[in-house]
Structure 1
Amino acid sequence: MSDLSIKKGFHDAHRLSVAPMMDWTDRHCRFFHRLMTRRAMLYTEMVTAPAILHGPRDRLLAYHAAEHPVALQLGGSDPLELAKAVQLAQPYGYDEINLNVGCPSDRVQSGCFGAILMERPQLVAECVAAMQGETDQPVTVKCRIGVDDHEPETMLPQFLEIVAGAGVTHFIIHARKAWLKGLSPKENREIPPLDYPLVLRMKQHFPELTICINGGIDSLDLARDLLGQGLDGVMIGRAAYHDPASVLLGADALWGDAPSQTALEVAAAMRPYIAAHLEAGGRLHQITRHMLGLFHGRPGARAWRRVLSEGASRDGAGLEVYNAALAQLGPGAVVT
């Protein structure tokens, strides 16, 4: 495959992506999401560079081959540590390495990475340059439009220019400020106002860059609208988790493809994956917790969630609990 076709495929995947979400987008969640969309780019939870260097590497980095295209999101601020983490991640074959410059949590701030790095764009440039030296895969950056009292109209273009100068051509911009003082991580996802026009202006100002937008996008209709305004990609977060069928089952239409499966077919396709996980000593809840919203809005959805929420975490819970949950959706829902 030529470099041009690799680059084209990489950018095409980002027409729609599912955001990295801590405690949510683990390997089981990504496998589940992949059954609903062949095309969208999936992201891991953020993994810190020190964790890869010193922690259980295989548990942190291994994933199912079916998840491709899949990106690894790293957290860190030490160029040498990040470079080593990328080197150690290379054998796992991720399609992209992403640097987190957007997370506002206290833990991230105390480690001097995440959104606080927007105040230090030159350090971010040094980090991504070091990371690029250890991989042929694209190194991308996910950031906010600004932090605290800094003016986004000034801060964001300066940040993009400096980091792009280090060779990054792809940015995912969460269209909210991060308030590092006074707001919790949850509040930082909801309270700072969205500024989509600013992100659109960044695409106009930097036409050579791939600019994707994140934040508050809750439907494919809104995703289509933003793509139609000239952005290169749309990243959807919580909506893809809480109501995955409405967002992901039709997602491949953004590439001109027809939906591949129904929600019930996805549930049936998950059964062998769940069985293999249980046989390997895993727990049912580790997978089904990501599936509670699969039937959102349809008859039986509440009972489906209740049966799984109450039964899947019990010791020894197996496919009988899964089947009982499916049975709440009506005759014919349980297909073995």
Structure 2
Amino acid sequence: MMEWSDRHCRHLWRLISHHAVLYTEMVTTGALLHADPARFLRYHPTEHPLALQLGGSDPVALAKCSRMAEEWGYDEVNLNCGCPSDRVQNGMIGAILMAHPTKVADCVKAMQDSVSIDVTVKHRIGIDDMDDYAGMAHFVETIAKTGCKTFIVHARKAWLQGLSPKENREVPPLRYDRVYQLKQEFPELEIVINGGLHTLAQCEEQIVQVDGVMVGREAYTNPYLLAEVDQRFYHDHHEIKSRQEIAAQFVEYCQEQMSEGQLLKYMTRHMLGLFQGLPGARRFRRHISENAHKPDAGISVLEDAIGLVNF
């Protein structure tokens, strides 16, 4: 599973891996219900399987947004109970919901009753002083009684006071053992682990203990990490695309999107790490950073940048 991505990033990821489940950036129910839903929900047909991650705590609003996700063709809808930012806390969204398992269960039940696609939950191992295993287990058990089967667990707790969102991704120690214990105690549930995973070898080690792995920031900074995912995890042995082939296909995608009014800068920023480790990668990044944001930036900016890489 790959998380936290806008549609341009997801398209790049899908060019590299055919099978990994892609998750959207979290979208709040308020944004979907009171703004243009197409802004948040549109995607390229190649992105399936695709999940919409929602932020909210009102069962009625979450049910409405879940129906929108199903109507738009999403394969799954996920409730975010892990984001630690002040903005979402104030709206009773994200990790703060771990302190209210009954409320989350009501939300999940309302979402399930409104759609036929899977409803899943992403959460932390704890928040603030609620950092023992029992608290997380109670949270999961309460929600599982609704029939929810899939829990994606970021193996760090969140400090809702005192740490920034960035620090909450790095400072609290990883406790993979808590996630393993959860799987052992609830073998009937699908438990997916998240946090601190940088290589496919590390992911393979996790699969021995849990049902799945979610990777976020490493896939964003080093997208070619996904090149072997299909072979190693999905037993699909199609030929792995080269970075050059992926870049060429992404150029075609950018041309298509720009013909519809999209700006180049919103797409190129997601491929800055594609050539990580290759000679010329720094020149590629610099050329994109210095030119893609210009008002008249055309596809030649990306083509010229790719030409600076030594394949």
Corresponding residue for 1:256?
235
Task: Show CA shifts across 1:126-184 (max 9, x none).
Answer: 00000011110000000000000113311111011000011110000000000001000
Q: 2: CA distance between counterparts of 1:278 and 1:63?
A: 15
Pairs within 5 Å for 1:192-207: 192-207=172-187
Corresponding residue for 2:78?
98
Corresponding residue for 2:89?
109
Task: Show CA shifts across 1:24-60 (max 9, x none).
Answer: x111110110000001000000001111111111111
SS of 2:157's equivalent in the other structure is: strand
Superposition deviation, residue 237 in structure 1: 1.0
Matched, 1:18 2:2: yes
SS of 1:307's equivalent in the other structure is: helix
Number of residue pairs aligned between Structure 1 and Structure 2 = 309
SS of 2:117's equivalent in the other structure is: coil
Question: RMSD of aligned C-alpha atoms?
Answer: 1.0
Residues 63, 111 of structure 2: 8 Å contact kept: yes
Q: 1: CA distance between counterparts of 2:19 and 2:272?
A: 23
Corresponding residue for 2:60?
80
Superposition deviation, residue 88 in structure 1: 2.4
Superposition deviation, residue 203 in structure 1: 0.4
Corresponding residue for 1:211?
191
2:250 to 266, 270, 273: 270
Q: 1: CA distance between counterparts of 2:61 and 2:263?
A: 33
1:33 to 10, 13, 30: 13
Corresponding residue for 1:182?
162
Matched, 1:240 2:225: no
Q: 2: CA distance between counterparts of 1:78 and 1:105?
A: 19
Residues 76, 117 of structure 2: 8 Å contact kept: yes
Instruction: Note the residue ranges of structure 1 that are not aligned, 5 or more in a row.
Output: 1-16
Residues 50, 76 of structure 2: 8 Å contact kept: yes
Q: 2: CA distance between counterparts of 1:156 and 1:214?
A: 15
Q: 2: CA distance between counterparts of 1:39 and 1:300?
A: 30
Q: 2: CA distance between counterparts of 1:131 and 1:152?
A: 28
SS of 1:133's equivalent in the other structure is: helix
2:149 to 162, 165, 169: 169
Instruction: Note the residue ranges of structure 2 that are not aligned, 5 or more in a row.
Output: none
Residues 251, 303 of structure 2: 8 Å contact kept: no
The amino acid across from 2:179 in the alignment is V
SS of 1:250's equivalent in the other structure is: helix
Q: TM-score normalized by structure 2?
A: 0.98
Task: Show CA shifts across 1:78-103 (max 9, x none).
Answer: 00111111122221110100000000
Task: Show CA shifts across 1:272-292 (max 9, x none).
Answer: 111111111211111000000
Q: 1: CA distance between counterparts of 2:78 and 2:101?
A: 15
Corresponding residue for 1:303?
283
Does 198-207 or 86-95 show the bigger shift?
86-95
Does 277-286 or 172-181 show the bigger shift?
277-286
1:48 to 18, 28, 40: 28
Percent identity of equivalent pairs: 50
Corresponding residue for 1:220?
200
Q: 2: CA distance between counterparts of 1:151 and 1:236?
A: 23
